[in-house]
Structure 1
Amino acid sequence: MTGKIKHNPAVRYALLAIGWLSVALGVIGIFLPVLPTTPFLLLAAACFMRSSERFYHWLVDHPRLGPWIRDYLEGEGIPRKAKIYSISLMWLSIGLSCYLVPMFWARLFMLTSAVCVTVYILRQKTLPTPPCPKR
């Protein structure tokens, strides 16, 4: 764990609250295709890293939630499937939002955000696909 635990109780409790809210949204995102899972779990890990070593290890070592973020946190990269899924879903939701929101400045902000996030995701290392077992 590389983060420094915050000693100010108000900051620590705020980080814990944001962390647990992010875990809840991440878990909901597993079942709802419109809500992303990985970004919320990464936010939770960042909050826990700065507020609770115990909760950070719980999340990263969790048998169901840990794999969503462990490779990224260890610098191994993001699976190709996750990159495609996240970029596709983001552009689908941004496209729908741009269609529904008539304000030019809001559309411009959403499209700029989508381009920046897409560039960020594409610049991350791609986790190598494990070879298929031979029969």
Structure 2
Amino acid sequence: MRLLAIRLVWRLLALLCLALGFIGIFVPGLPTVPFLLAAAWAAGRGWPALEAWLLNHPRWGTSIRNWREHGAMPRRAKWASSGMMAASALLMGFSGAPLWATLGVAGVMLVVAMWLWRRPES
């Protein structure tokens, strides 16, 4: 019974991430691939058929496999992510948010961008 409950939790997490990834296709600023990576990860723990479907998907499968095998991401994705983070920091700067919050968020995004650009390219 406990094993069934754990498998159900993994499946629900995989479905949630898959749904968020799908929404990210249409909503600017909501990433798609990170949610698909998380969906494949969760599916690998509780839903092997969904994991196989994601890994063999014609559009997203290559990105998921490259991330799993090499921690790699395409340069285009790095540029897009960096651009979105820069635009978000700029928007936050003009939003009237407290200076400490703006600088803190910008600092976190800068660290993420530095980590991102150190990843291998597919």
| Fold similarity call, TM over 0.5 | yes
One of 94, 97, 101 as aligned partner of 1:99? 94
One of 57, 69, 72 as aligned partner of 1:62? 57
Distance 1:103-1:52 versus aligned 2 partners, 3 A rule: same
One of 69, 84, 87 as aligned partner of 2:82? 87
Q: Which runs of 4+ in 1 moved over 6 A?
A: none
Separation in 1, partners of 2:109, 2:39: 22
1:79-102: CA deviation from partner (whole Å, max 9, x where unpaired): 111110111112212332343262
Structure holding more helix per residue: 2
Which residue of structure 2 lines up, in the alignment, with residue 48 of structure 1? 43
Which residue of structure 2 lines up, in the alignment, with residue 77 of structure 1? 72
Separation in 2, partners of 1:11, 1:118: 34
Separation in 2, partners of 1:103, 1:10: 44
Q: Is the 8 A contact 1:15 1:51 kept in 2?
A: yes
What fraction of aligned residue pairs are identical, expressed as a percent? 36
Distance 1:16-1:94 versus aligned 2 partners, 3 A rule: farther
Alignment RMSD (CA, Å): 2.2
Unaligned ranges ≥5, structure 1: 1-6, 128-135
Which residue of structure 1 lines up, in the alignment, with residue 26 of structure 2? 31
Q: TM-score, normalised by structure 1?
A: 0.74
Aligned positions, number: 121
Q: TM-score, normalised by structure 2?
A: 0.80
Separation in 2, partners of 1:101, 1:33: 22
Unaligned ranges ≥5, structure 2: none
